[in-house]
């Protein structure tokens, strides 16, 4: 057997891809290695832990892999006690394999699963007892499947369920079946661990940061720095206490949000209904949903009845959604593809109805429980956030190593200097180690998060909520933003513009008021083809459908109480809803279409299918009618060709190019023998008769054009990704400024491989169809496009995008570089687009409504969901404003936070280097800073300045240049080197000026360190280094162009002035009391003191001037030595290639995927 395996990750059944979802991370399976305990190794490690006074255990805690290697031996996974996991991000975890005894013979209870994995799961030993081997990781349960030779998510056991399988569970599970499944699946609980304060304290203290603090405090106490050590100890205790309180508070809050335990009604195989705790639910349980609804504790597929659901908690979508029964069939069930038939955990079921005989509510079958549910995924994304691949965070860790190297050099130097001073061995060790505590500031990691914390607070105050604070800095580097159209760029609601009926002679004139239509299929279709439901007498549903019904003046009625009378009115069919015409409307004698219509079947709208349909019957049970509504191209393709007017394409093109939202309707009469209760969607939606077009006006939000213009001026690309018609999308792109009035739109048309043709790719001006521009005019236009520097944008639809990805991968990057409009894109295509753009090294932002855009929002580097919720499964950011004005705000805050993080990082590094230089200079002359001098610098100066430095808000406008993200870039390292050098020169100058004075008295050379205080050398270095801490705070604090100028940060400015005044006072006249406390030498020469202040002013002037020159790019001349190098970002290299290609794109040429060679990127 293999000693190494993998965790198989089945396709997730969540409403949106998660970081663990193969849709987002195809390589997301974990590498797993098995280990067994070795008794003698365990005892040897215990002995070593005792002898090392617990130090070995701390090392094992920091490096769990070492603990496993030291105490265990490698073994096959089937025999492992301990597993070492490594995820796709390279992070390693250690988990324990658990075993659970399962009842003998329980496997026979799950039915005919002889060839499935249940038996493999538990019958690992042919002994009297049957054991289940599993482990828990991030809330998910992984079980051992011997046949696969791997640990798999327990959800793999039900991932192959078909829709018919789910209907097979409609009669319910027996108690024994339910019990055996509960053993395997575990409890239906999203359990957020809330640790005790003692456990949290131990974990926090064993953090490397606090262990370094403990080491430092111990060292300072031994060195008799009692005041400083005590103060740092008290601050550390306060910091730990606050941290523990916040962690505990957040865990408790998240647990109260996540944990849902309620009583639900399930149906048993005996036919009885039983009330059970939701904790005991397992996949396959038949759930009876009460009429008044409930807060759902699991994911479930709806089998009978209809449910009105508020999914705002998960998707942020405020409009309730109508869920309809799952269609039966042999196709594999997927919560993503069947989301209109799936009830998700954590959503509020407002009402349920139509569940069948004896059921007042609805009936559903549990499909997922615990962390495998949609809500479980949301909680998991908060508990276990995906690592952020951001250069700033990677460089921060590398820079700490650089500081460690400097500490090593300082340690060697101090060892040599102190050795010559003939100090004791104990003092030599203490002084040498003290250098490490100075150079590597333990507060550095905490300090650089200050800017992010301030930014998060400012965002929250403006209605933007964030569940992943590190992504705020990522916002500062966004280079491209994708926008959904409907509800994001345009208004959510639409106004009916009119109806155009299709007839034998073509389309009729536009009828602006649908209520004026004569009774007939068109009017009935408009009134009936929807999923609107009543709640408290008020209609709820899609705003488009509400407007459509309102335009007909028909009224909606739903069954109440005893529904027998209503069912019998319509021929005994089970009625879901009734649409009744207005009473005053006169209807022709004997007309059935002008009468009330009962909706008996609904097939809700699907983004993938681009349509919805209903089945209606008239009073008396006369022949049923099926109506379809959806994208015009899709509906026309499902209608008989002879019923589609010849002008269909031209009329549609004209309407959509003017920015109208167009839907088409069709209908057909169903055979009297058709069983309406079991008819399938595929049977309904074919051979329809084309009825006509519903034209709606979708206005662009006023803020959209302003925001797009702001992004354009900031050189940030804007891209529209929509499920709407391509010409409508292009019109909206022009209206909001994505496409300029003087810019051309070139349509990309790609066809897949077919039986009679090979894949082709064409670029043409004009509409979104496949027709080419006439050859003569095309040449003139092409010549003008290539010679007059006219800007152009590409537009592509979902079908062409799919063909482009499959058959023209070489052209894909070039199309992505110039495409602005992506139309008729399915939800998974939106996700694919985001990932393809990221492959070009774009930092991609995505703004959408959180429902159909879930996958893209999660895949993007910065996902913004427009919703009322404070946290949703859709994205790391949610905005309560219903327009895209939050996007520039988020980018501005991201840039401000990133610049602030840079400033704080540089300041903390310079603070350490200034103190490092001060100590080494004073070591050289056999003295050191005093206890309270260290305390004054660290607390009164540095900590206070670092806290308030990040309070400055973002600039009011977006600058075309983005802030840097690399801490190891030449300007950053060059700046640190130059400022450190200038600070060393300043301190040395202060020392040499002091020693050159006539009144200078050398210190006592028989003693060393702080025992030599007060002395003139220390006082002069103290004075200048004190100024340098304040000077560096001013120098590294950046304002324009990404932050407001320093003088807008009133608190910071006030503290700066106060500290400058304090330092001047301490230098000129500290007074006997303060001088004694700080151990400062009383120098009476006022001219000398003024000289020190002047030297500090000169230090400030030179450092500030150098920083300005560095900002202006003075160090860029050093790059000339290495020559021009191509950008590391692929999209920048590709942009240069396209700019030098005057014949791209080739208009009106049929390009083959094999015969055409694109320009290389090398």
Q: Report pLDDT for 111.
A: 33
CA 784, 785, 791, 795 torsion-angle sign = positive
Q: Comparing 170 with 11, which gets the higher pLDDT?
A: 170
Residue 1046 backbone class (left: φ over 0; alpha: ψ -120 to 50; beta: rest): alpha
Question: How would DSSP label each residue in 733-754?
Answer: HHHTTSS-TT-EEEEEEEE--B
Q: Do 132 and 122 touch, CB atoms closer than 8 A?
A: yes
Residue 156, C-beta contacts closer than 8 angstroms, at least 6 positions apart: 8, 10, 117, 145
The CB-side HSE value for 1119 (13 A sphere, CA atoms) comes to 11
Phi, psi values for residue 130, rounded to 5°:
-110, 130
Give residue 881's pLDDT band: very low, low, confident or very high (50, 70, 90): confident
Alpha helices per DSSP H over 489-573:
521-528, 543-552, 564-569
Q: Report pLDDT for 582.
A: 84
Q: Is 499 exposed, middle or buried (0-12, 13-18, 19+ CB in 10 A)?
A: buried
Give residue 173's pLDDT band: very low, low, confident or very high (50, 70, 90): confident
Q: Report pLDDT for 104.
A: 58
User: Where do we find the tokens 């004896």?
Assistant: 358
CA atoms of 132 and 182, how far apart (whole Å): 12
CA atoms of 295 and 312, how far apart (whole Å): 12
CA atoms of 987 and 1010, how far apart (whole Å): 18
Give me the chain's average pLDDT, please.
82
Active site residue 484: yes
Q: Report pLDDT for 19.
A: 33
Give the count of beta carbons closer than 10 Å to the beta carbon of residue 4. Answer: 12
CA 653, 654, 656, 657 torsion-angle sign = positive
Q: What pairing do the DSSP bridges indicate for beta strands 263-267 and 273-277?
A: antiparallel
Q: What is the pLDDT of residues 80-114, one digit of tens each?
A: 999 999 887 778 889 999 888 776 554 443 333 33
CA atoms of 450 and 1037, how far apart (whole Å): 14
Pick the catalytic residue: 434, 484, 724, 767? 484
CA atoms of 57 and 35, how far apart (whole Å): 19
Q: What is the pLDDT of residues 452-494, one digit of tens each?
A: 888 999 999 998 988 778 889 899 999 999 998 877 888 876 7
Q: What is the pLDDT of residues 785-812, one digit of tens each?
A: 443 445 889 999 988 999 999 888 889 9
Alpha helices per DSSP H over 108-259:
117-122, 163-168, 175-185, 197-205, 208-222, 226-258
Q: What is the pLDDT of residues 514-537, one digit of tens each?
A: 888 888 889 999 999 998 888 777
Which range has the worst mean pLDDT, 325-339, 712-726, 990-1004? Answer: 325-339
| Cα 848 off chain centre by | 12
Phi, psi values for residue 128, rounded to 5°:
-70, -30
Q: Do 574 and 568 touch, CB atoms closer than 8 A?
A: no
CA 730, 736, 739, 742 torsion-angle sign = positive
Q: Comparing 779 with 477, which gets the higher pLDDT?
A: 477
- Cis-peptide, bond into residue 806, ω within 30° of zero: no
Q: Report pLDDT for 486.
A: 79
Residue 735, C-beta contacts closer than 8 angstroms, at least 6 positions apart: 659, 700, 705
CA atoms of 709 and 711, how far apart (whole Å): 5
Q: Report pLDDT for 493.
A: 66
Q: Do 104 and 129 touch, CB atoms closer than 8 A?
A: yes
Give residue 118's pLDDT band: very low, low, confident or very high (50, 70, 90): very low
Give residue 48's pLDDT band: very low, low, confident or very high (50, 70, 90): very high
The percentage of the chain sitting over the pLDDT mark of 70, rounded to a whole number, equals 88
Q: What is the pLDDT of residues 355-401, one digit of tens each?
A: 666 677 889 999 999 988 888 887 887 777 777 777 777 787 788 78
With b for 16 or more beta-carbon neighbours within 10 A and e for fewer, the 442-453 pattern comes to bbbeebbbbbbe
Tokens of 893: 């805050």
- CA of 34: how far to CAs of 37, 74, 91, in Å? 10, 6, 17
With b for 16 or more beta-carbon neighbours within 10 A and e for fewer, the 760-786 pattern comes to bbbbbbbbbeeebbeeeebeebbeebe
The percentage of the chain sitting over the pLDDT mark of 90, rounded to a whole number, equals 25
Q: Is the pTM of this model over 0.85?
A: no
Residue 129 has pLDDT above 70, yes or no: no
Q: Report pLDDT for 11.
A: 35
């Amino acid at each position: 057997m293999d000693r190494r395996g993998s965790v198989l990750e089945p396709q997730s059944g969540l409403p949106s891809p998660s970081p663990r979802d193969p849709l987002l991370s195809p390589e997301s399976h974990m590498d797993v290695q098995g280990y067994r305990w070795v008794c003698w190794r365990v005892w040897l490690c215990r002995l070593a832990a005792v002898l090392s006074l617990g130090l070995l255990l701390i090392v094992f805690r920091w490096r769990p892999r070492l603990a496993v290697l030291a105490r265990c031996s490698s073994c096959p996974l089937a025999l492992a006690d301990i597993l070492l996991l490594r995820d796709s991000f390279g992070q390693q975890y250690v988990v324990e394999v658990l075993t659970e005894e399962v009842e003998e013979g329980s496997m026979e209870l799950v039915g005919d699963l002889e060839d499935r994995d249940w038996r493999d799961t538990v019958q690992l030993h042919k002994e009297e007892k049957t054991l289940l081997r599993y482990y828990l990781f991030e809330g998910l349960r992984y079980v051992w499947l011997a046949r696969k030779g791997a640990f798999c998510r327990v959800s793999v056991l039900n991932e192959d369920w078909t829709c018919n399988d789910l209907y097979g569970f409609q009669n319910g599970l027996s108690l024994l079946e339910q019990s055996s499944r509960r053993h395997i699946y575990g409890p239906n609980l999203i359990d957020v661990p809330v640790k005790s304060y003692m456990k949290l304290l131990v974990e926090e203290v064993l953090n490397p940061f606090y262990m370094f603090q403990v080491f430092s405090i111990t060292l300072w106490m031994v060195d008799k720095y009692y005041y400083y050590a005590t103060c740092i100890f008290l601050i550390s205790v306060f910091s730990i206490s606050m941290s523990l309180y916040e962690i505990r508070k957040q865990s408790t809050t998240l647990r109260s949000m996540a944990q849902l335990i309620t009583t639900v009604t399930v149906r048993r195989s005996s036919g009885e209904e039983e009330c059970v705790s939701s904790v005991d639910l397992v996949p396959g349980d038949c759930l009876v949903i009460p009429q008044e609804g409930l807060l759902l504790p699991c994911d479930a597929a709806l089998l009978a009845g209809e449910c009105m659901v508020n999914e705002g908690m998960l998707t942020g979508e405020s409009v309730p959604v109508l869920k309809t029964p799952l269609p039966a069939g042999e196709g594999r069930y997927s919560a993503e593809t069947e989301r209109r038939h799936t009830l998700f955990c954590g959503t509020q079921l407002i009402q349920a109805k139509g569940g069948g005989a004896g059921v007042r509510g609805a009936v559903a079958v549990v499909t997922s429980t615990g962390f495998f549910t949609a809500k479980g995924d949301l909680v998991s994304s908060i508990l276990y956030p995906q690592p952020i691949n951001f250069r700033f965070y990677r460089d921060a860790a590398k820079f700490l190593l650089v500081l460690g190297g400097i500490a090593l050099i300082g340690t060697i130097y101090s060892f040599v200097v102190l050795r010559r001073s003939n100090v004791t061995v104990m003092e030599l060790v203490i002084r040498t180690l003290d250098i490490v505590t100075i150079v590597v500031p333990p507060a550095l990691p905490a300090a650089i998060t200050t800017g992010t914390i301030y930014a998060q607070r400012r965002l929250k105050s403006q209605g933007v909520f964030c569940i992943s604070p590190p992504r705020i800095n990522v916002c500062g580097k966004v280079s491209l933003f994708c926008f959904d159209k409907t509800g994001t760029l345009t208004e959510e609601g639409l106004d009916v513009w009119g109806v155009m009926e299709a007839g034998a002679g073509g389309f009729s004139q536009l009828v602006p008021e649908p209520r004026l239509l004569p009774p007939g299929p068109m009017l009935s279709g408009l009134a009936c083809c929807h999923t609107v439901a009543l709640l408290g007498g008020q209609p709820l549903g899609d705003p488009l459908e509400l407007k459509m019904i309102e335009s007909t003046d028909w009224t909606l009625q739903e069954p109440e109480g005893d529904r027998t009378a209503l069912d019998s009115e319509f021929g005994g069919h089970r009625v879901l809803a009734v649409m009744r015409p207005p009473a005053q409307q006169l209807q022709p004698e004997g007309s059935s279409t002008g009468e009330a219509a009962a909706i008996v079947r609904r097939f809700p709208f699907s983004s993938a299918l681009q349509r919805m349909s209903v089945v209606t019957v008239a009073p008396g049970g006369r022949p049923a009618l099926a109506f379809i509504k959806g994208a015009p191209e899709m509906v026309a393709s499902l209608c008989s060709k002879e019923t589609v007017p010849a002008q269909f394409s031209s009329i549609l093109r004209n309407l959509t190019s003017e920015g109208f939202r167009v839907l088409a309707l069709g209908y057909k009469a169903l055979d009297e023998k058709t069983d309406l209760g079991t008819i399938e969607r595929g049977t309904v939606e074919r051979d329809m008769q084309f009825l006509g077009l519903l034209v709606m006006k979708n206005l662009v939000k006023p803020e959209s054009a302003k925001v797009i213009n702001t992004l354009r001026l900031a050189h940030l690309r804007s891209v529209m990704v929509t499920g709407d018609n391509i010409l409508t999308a292009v019109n909206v792109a022009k209206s909001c400024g994505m496409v300029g009035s003087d810019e051309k739109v070139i349509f990309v048309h790609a066809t897949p491989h077919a039986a009679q043709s090979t894949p082709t790719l064409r670029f043409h001006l004009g509409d979104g169809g496949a027709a080419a521009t006439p050859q003569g005019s095309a040449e003139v236009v092409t010549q003008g496009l290539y010679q007059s520097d006219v800007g152009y944008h590409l537009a592509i639809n979902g079908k062409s995008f799919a063909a482009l990805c499959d058959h023209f991968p070489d052209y894909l990057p070039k199309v992505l570089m110039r495409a602005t409009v992506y139309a008729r894109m399915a939800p998974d295509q939106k996700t694919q687009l985001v990932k393809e753009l990221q492959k070009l090294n774009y930092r991609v932002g995505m703004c959408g409504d959180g429902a159909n855009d879930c996958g893209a929002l999660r895949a993007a580097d910065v996902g913004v969901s427009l919703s009322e919720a404070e946290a949703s499964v859709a994205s790391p950011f949610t905005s309560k404003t219903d327009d895209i004005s939050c996007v520039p705000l988020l980018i501005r805050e991201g840039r401000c936070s990133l610049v602030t993080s840079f400033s704080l990082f540089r300041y903390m590094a310079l603070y350490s280097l200034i103190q490092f230089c001060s100590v080494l200079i004073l070591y050289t002359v056999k003295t050191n800073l005093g206890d309270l001098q260290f305390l004054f610098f660290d607390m009164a100066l540095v900590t206070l300045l670092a806290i308030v430095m990040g309070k400055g808000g973002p600039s009011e406008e977006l600058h075309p240049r983005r802030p840097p993200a690399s801490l190891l870039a030449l300007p950053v390292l060059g700046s640190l080197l130059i400022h450190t050098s200038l600070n060393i020169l300043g301190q040395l100058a202060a020392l040499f000026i002091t020693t050159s004075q006539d009144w200078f008295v050398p210190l006592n050379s028989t003693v060393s360190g702080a025992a030599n205080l007060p002395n003139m050398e220390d006082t002069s270095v103290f004075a200048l280094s004190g100024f340098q801490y304040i000077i560096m705070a001013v120098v590294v604090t950046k304002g324009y162009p990404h932050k407001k100028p320093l003088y807008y940060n009133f608190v910071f400015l006030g503290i700066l002035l106060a500290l400058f005044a304090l330092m001047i006072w301490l230098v000129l006249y500290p007074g006997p009391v303060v001088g004694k406390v700080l151990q400062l030498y009383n120098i009476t020469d006022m001219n000398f003191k003024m000289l020190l202040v002047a030297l500090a002013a000169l230090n400030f002037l030179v450092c500030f001037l150098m920083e300005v020159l560095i900002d202006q790019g003075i160090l860029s001349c050093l790059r000339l030595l290495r020559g021009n190098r191509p950008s590391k970002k692929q999209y920048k290299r590709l942009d240069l290639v396209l700019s030098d290609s005057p014949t791209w794109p080739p208009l009106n040429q049929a390009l083959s995927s094999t015969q055409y060679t694109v320009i290389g990127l090398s």
